[in-house]
Amino acid sequence: MSEDDAVIWQDVLEEILAGRGGALACPHCNHSPLKVDNTTELTKISCSGCEAFIQGRFGGLN
Ligand SMILES: [Zn+2]
């Protein structure tokens, strides 16, 4: 992910890491809820509204 993405999604990531992922809204279009897919390798957080997503290895999720 780019540094811009990291900034845009930072609040969302922090909420998910804090265990409060259920009520999150997309930072691009404000669609809610976001879809969170955890695999052993990566976490992907995606929006079904505008199809924005971020994926990577985020501490504590994998
Ligand atoms: Zn969206």
The pLDDT tens digits of the residues spanning 22-40 come to 678 999 999 998 998 888 8
How remote is the CA of residue 40 from the centroid of ligand 1, in Å?
25
Long-range contacts of 27-36 (CB under 8 A, 24+ apart): 27/52, 28/52
How remote is the CA of residue 13 from the centroid of ligand 1, in Å?
15
State the alpha helices, DSSP H only, in 1-62: 3-8, 10-17
The model's pTM is 0.78
User: What is the pLDDT at residue 16?
Assistant: 81
**How do beta strands 35-38 and 43-46 pair?**
antiparallel
Phi, psi of 36, deg, nearest 5: -120, 120
Residue 10 has pLDDT above 60, yes or no: yes
Q: What is the mean pLDDT of the chain?
A: 85
Q: What is the average per-residue pLDDT within 51-58?
A: 90
How remote is the CA of residue 15 from the centroid of ligand 1, in Å?
17
